[in-house]
């Protein structure tokens, strides 16, 4: 009998009511991703039987790690351990260790069972010069004893961690498909938020290659959130008029500020329609001109909803490392056009009064 043992961390720390609700959400997400599997729940553990694609478990938020394991009854454990050691070719290792965890009442302690099983293994494989190393063994045999049930495994696979997708509600994400915005969206998924991505089409200042890139990245994030569907909104008409007004007023270096504030306003409107509780962006302090503290302050004034910036304290190298880990990096660097509306020297210290005056003229002419 082959099972998968799933472990979670934060769920276990919650109150009974919250823990039960989050467990139910995690199991719901598991069944959506792996409808063929059968699920059994115990406190601190979830067991799956009939898993056809275990790689999907790596992308389910709320699972900190998982292991493929074998089951036996406690009365059969000693002989089963030896058969399991044959199966995993433990004799190819130079050193090994046995780790035992128990739940329930038994006539032995965990250290006693470790010593007993270790001696059995040493005796069977005495001709292979196998030795015990409790600090850094080449091979580890894990045994979980839960009352009269036993589970054996030799590998622990890292999961996505976090908390179950959806338990914290919905957020709207500004999503360009570059390196930063997908990582920001992923971080909020990891914290239990279902994310709705919004892409702004800035034609004629960009072309379809940017949208194609965003869609490529979105397909990867669907592995973490299956309903991650890009919503495309027009940004070009506003940007055309904004460039005209700013050029006339001699402050064309404010272009990116006005553009981003418009994105915030549109995102806020859609968020309220969708029942979302805030907006997510990939902004990090000082990374580009529009992301200085002065400019972020001006940007936030355009929106009454909370703006979440999970990358705010990270540098580019850290963000790229995470993008590679979650699988979005290669798609994010796929060739795409850059926005040609960006001025040569964007302002890093935007003044709110200038912004509001320019926006008033732009928005009135567009009937916003």
Check if 2-158 and 169-365 are the same fold.
no
Top-tier CATH class for 169-365: alpha beta
Residue spans of the domains in the chain: they are 2-158, 169-365
CA 251 to chain centre: 40
Backbone angles phi, psi at 27, to 5 degrees: -65, -40
Q: Which helix (H) or strand (E) holds 152?
A: strand 149-153
Cα separation, 139 vs 89, whole angstroms: 10
| Domain made up of 2-158: CATH architecture | 2-Layer Sandwich (3.30)
Cα separation, 12 vs 45, whole angstroms: 9
Is the separation of the CB atoms in 165 and 194 below 8 Å?
yes
Cα distance between the two ends of the chain: 63
Residues in a beta bridge with 192: none
Is the separation of the CB atoms in 336 and 209 below 8 Å?
yes
Per-residue model confidence as pLDDT tens for the chain (368 residues): 569 999 987 888 888 898 899 999 999 999 999 999 999 888 778 999 988 788 999 999 999 999 999 999 999 999 999 999 999 999 999 999 999 999 999 999 999 999 999 999 999 999 898 999 999 999 999 999 999 999 999 999 999 999 999 999 999 999 999 999 999 999 999 999 999 999 999 999 999 999 999 999 999 999 999 999 999 999 999 999 999 999 999 999 999 999 999 999 999 999 999 999 999 999 999 888 788 999 999 999 999 999 999 999 999 999 999 999 999 999 999 989 888 999 989 999 999 999 999 999 998 877 64
């Amino acid at each position: 009998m082959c099972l998968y043992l799933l472990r979670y961390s934060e769920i276990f720390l919650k109150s009974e009511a919250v823990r039960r609700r989050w467990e139910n959400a995690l199991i719901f997400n598991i069944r959506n991703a792996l409808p063929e599997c059968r699920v059994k729940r115990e406190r601190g553990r979830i067991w799956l039987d009939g898993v056809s694609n275990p790689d999907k478990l790596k992308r389910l938020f709320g699972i900190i790690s998982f292991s493929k394991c074998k089951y036996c009854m406690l009365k059969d454990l000693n002989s089963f351990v030896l058969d399991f050691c044959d199966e995993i070719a433990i004799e190819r290792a130079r050193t090994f260790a046995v780790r035992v965890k128990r739940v329930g009442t038994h006539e032995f302690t965990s250290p006693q069972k470790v010593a007993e099983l270790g001696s059995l293994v040493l005796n069977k494989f005495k001709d292979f010069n196998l030795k015990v190393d409790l600090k850094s063994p080449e091979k580890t045999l894990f045994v979980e004893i839960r009352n009269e049930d036993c589970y054996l495994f030799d590998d622990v696979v890292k999961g996505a961690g976090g908390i179950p997708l959806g338990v914290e509600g919905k957020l709207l994400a500004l999503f360009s498909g570059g390196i930063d915005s997908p990582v920001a969206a992923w971080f909020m998924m990891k914290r239990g938020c279902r994310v709705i991505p919004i892409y702004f089409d800035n034609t004629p200042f960009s072309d379809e290659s940017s949208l194609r890139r965003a869609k490529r990245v979105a397909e990867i994030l669907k592995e973490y959130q299956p309903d991650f569907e890009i919503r495309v909104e027009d940004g070009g008409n506003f940007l055309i008029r904004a460039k005209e007004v700013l050029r006339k007023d001699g402050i064309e270096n404010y272009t990116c500020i006005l553009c981003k504030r418009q994105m915030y306003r549109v995102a806020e409107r859609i968020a309220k329609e969708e029942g979302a509780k805030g907006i997510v962006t990939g902004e990090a302090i000082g990374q580009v001109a529009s992301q200085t503290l002065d400019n972020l302050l001006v940007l936030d004034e355009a929106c009454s909803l909370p703006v979440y910036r999970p990358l705010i304290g990270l540098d580019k190298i850290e963000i790229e490392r995470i993008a590679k880990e979650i699988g979005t990096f290669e798609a994010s660097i796929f060739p795409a056009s850059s926005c040609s509306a960006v001025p040569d020297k964007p302002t890093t210290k935007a003044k709110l009064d200038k912004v509001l005056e320019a926006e008033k003229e732009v928005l009135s002419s567009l009937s916003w």
